[in-house]
Amino acid sequence: MTSRERVIMSLKHKEPDRVPVDFDGMRSTGIHARAYSELKRHLNLNDKSVRIYDLGQQLGEVDEETRQIFNVDVVALKGLYTNFGCRLDRWKKFPMFSDGEYYVPEDFNPEKDEEGNWVVKDETGRVIAKMPKGGYYFDGIYYPLENAQTKEDIDKFFASLKPLDDEEVNYLIENAKYFRENTNYAIMGNFGGNFFEAGHGAFGYQKFMELLAFDRSLVEHFLGRLEEYYLKNLEIYLENVGDYIDIIQFGDDFGSQNGPQISLKMFRELFKPHLKRLCEYTKKKNKNIFTFLHSCGSISALLPDIIDAGVDIINPVQTSAANMDPEFLKKEFGDSITFWGGGADTQKILPFGSKEEVIEDVKRRIDIFAPGGGFVFTAVHNIQYGVPAQNVVTMFETVKNHGKYDWH
pLDDT at position 406 is 80
Beta bridge partners of 338: 313
User: Which residues lie closer than 8 Å to 217 by C-beta, 6 or more apart?
Assistant: 151
Which DSSP letter does residue 252 get? -
Strands 127-131 and 118-121 turn out to be antiparallel
For residues 135 and 371, give the distance between their C-alpha atoms in angstroms, rounded to a whole number.
41
Contact between 362 and 324 under an 8 Å Cβ cutoff? The reply is no
Per-residue pLDDT 10s for the chain (408 aa) are 999 999 999 999 999 999 999 999 999 999 999 999 999 999 999 999 999 999 999 999 999 999 999 999 999 999 999 999 999 999 999 999 999 999 999 999 999 999 999 999 999 999 999 999 999 999 999 999 999 999 999 999 999 999 999 999 999 999 999 999 999 999 999 999 999 999 999 999 999 999 999 999 999 999 999 999 999 999 999 999 999 999 999 999 999 999 999 999 999 999 999 999 999 999 999 999 999 999 999 999 999 999 999 999 999 999 999 999 999 999 999 999 999 999 999 999 999 999 999 999 999 999 999 999 999 999 999 999 999 999 999 999 999 999 999 854
Burial class (CB in 10 A: 0-12, 13-18, 19+), 126: exposed
CATH number of 3-27+73-79+144-402: 3.20.20.210
- C-beta pairs of 61-70 under 8 Å, 24+ apart in sequence: 61/24, 62/23, 62/24, 62/30, 62/31, 62/36, 66/23, 66/39, 66/40, 67/23, 67/185, 69/43, 69/396, 70/21, 70/23, 70/396, 70/400
Q: Structural domain boundaries of the chain?
A: 3-27+73-79+144-402
Burial class (CB in 10 A: 0-12, 13-18, 19+), 199: buried
For residues 68 and 318, give the distance between their C-alpha atoms in angstroms, rounded to a whole number.
26
Which strands form 111-112's sheet, in the order they lie side by side? 111-112, 118-121, 127-131, 139-140
Which strands form 91-93's sheet, in the order they lie side by side? 59-60, 50-54, 102-105, 91-93
* Entry pTM: 0.97
